[in-house]
Amino acid sequence: MFKKILIANRGEIAVRIIRTCRDLGIASVALYDETDAGSLHVRLADECVPLTSSLGYVDQDEVIAIARKTGAEAIHPGYGFLSEQPAFMRACEAAGLVFVGPPVELVELVKNKIAMLDRVAEAGFATPPHSSVAFDATDLDAISAEAARLGYPVIIKSCSGGRGHGTRVVRAPELLAEALRQAGAGSKAVFRDQRVYLEAAILPSHYVEVQVLGDRQGHLIHLGERDSSIQRNNQKIITESPAPYLTPAQREGIWGQALQIARLFGCYSACSVEFVLDRDGRTYFTEIKPRIQVEHSVTEMVASVDIVRAQLRTAWGDPLTIGQGDVLLRGSAMQCRIRAEDPLNNFLPSPGTIGLLRQPGGPNVRVDTYAYSGCDIPLRYEPMFAKLIVWGRDRADCLNRMRRAIEETFITGIQTNLPLVQSIFNDPHFEQGTYTTEFRRSLPGASTDPAELRDLAVIAAVTQALRAGAAQPTMPVRLGSGWHRSSRRLPS
């Protein structure tokens, strides 16, 4: 096994990887810039090295130089940043470093989104109708023609990344230009590539991802599915496993399709195979994520498998320690992302210093975070600073535990999305498991009724008036004694 690895990431995923390294007796090297100097991943790692490049965590030359200087044998990229960059993976290989993740050939295949969809379709699996070529995001005329051919609503997707940045749903032709501008800007900022393609939107739908693990010996298993249908701006808010709406036959079918598609691309390490289900239960493959995902912790709770440990072992060359028959999926797990933003102020980012942080506890409650009381949440990076994950023997038990855990969580100094998350877990559609991707269009707390704002203003004004009226000015007794005048009297 590796003696030392470098973690080319920050935040909660860096903390997560460091802890598994400690469990395996592997020394860890953390990176940080000036905004992350006080982050928990810097405090927990065995070594920490500052980044000097203006590119920060995405400067592959500096990352590799630090790995070699510190004697690291491998680099774990986490998610985002350099995790899906073939050039970086090849540079690691050239430097004699092991890249902890899928092979570069797989990443190159799945980064070509159109070719990936075509290959899966040729193998006999259903995919959403999509454009056959990529477009520059500034080519409005060609994209308009393609959108008309596919029929609205359509989804604009980045050719270089997954959902979220560079992805926009367009429901009418007059909305295309602005959506295209936003998608192109997001894709260029995050992936440095503003090429996009179009996909017919399947609405309403369920968004399902199957976690697969593989090794270099050709073994491949799945760890069940996760639902991530509740999103905002194509960013997942809540994930749960198992998906509450699937029948046993549908579940087995999705697992089987995921394994076949993963074998088609030669997956190993940790990958996710993603699908959408339409209102009639038909399944469409959408993409493969060739890396660990934010939501991996949900799967870990129901499968009792340490996915980061499996990544490290398979990167070393060891075979998987479990087969498909050994995978026992138990109970139900849910996760919510805790973000530094204000849901009642148009989700304005809320960076700053955390005053007090009380994390929830109790059986089967897990918090993955880089934050602590007094920690700075920087503006420069993704506002997610924690994930709250709970497990229950069934979905009802899990939901009650999640509600309790949210009520126990206490954070001051910054605004968070916890009020929004709490309202979602109390929503009847979520409780019944009948929500779809369309749930994001009417997220509770996303907008406030003007009448509610009026009532809150009245309550605040009355409270202030009562407080002001309760304070009656009085003369302190000592001021009537004249001592203060005597103290100023000059000696005679």
Radius of gyration of the chain (CA): 26
> What's phi and psi for 246, nearest 5 deg?
-80, 140
Phi-psi region of 162 (alpha: psi -120 to 50; beta: other; left: phi over 0): beta
Residue 399: strand, helix, or coil: helix
Cβ atoms within 10 Å, residue 326? 10
Give every CB contact of residue 34 below 8 A, 6+ residues apart in sequence: 50
Do 147 and 183 meet the contact criterion of CB atoms below 8 Å apart?
no
Buried (b) or exposed (e) across 368-388, using 16+ Cβ within 10 A?
bbbbeeebbbbeebbbbbbbb
3-class DSSP state of 215? coil
Q: In what order do the strands lie in the sheet with 4-7?
A: 47-50, 27-32, 4-7, 74-76, 98-99
CA 345 to chain centre: 21
**By three-state DSSP, how is residue 248 classified?**
helix
Kindly state the helix (H) or strand (E) to which residue 299 belongs, with its residue range: helix 296-303
Check residue 185 and give left, alpha or beta (phi > 0: left; psi -120 to 50: alpha): alpha
Residues whose CB falls within 8 Å of the CB of residue 321, separated by 6 or more in sequence, listed in order: 310, 313
Among 291, 313, 366, 401, which one carries the catalytic annotation? 291
Residue 412: count of CB within 10 angstroms of its CB: 12
E strands along 89-136, which residues?
98-99, 135-136
- The pair phi, psi for residue 482, each rounded to 5°, is 85, 10
DSSP classification of residue 318? P
Q: Quickly count: other Cβ atoms within 10 Å of residue 114's Cβ.
A: 16
| Helix, coil or strand: residue 310 | helix
Q: Answer whether 135's CB lies under 8 Å from 128's CB.
A: no
- 291 flagged as catalytic: yes
Contact 28, 67 (CB under 8 A): no
Q: How far apart are CA 108 and CA 113, in angstroms?
A: 10
Q: Give me the active site residues, please.
A: 291
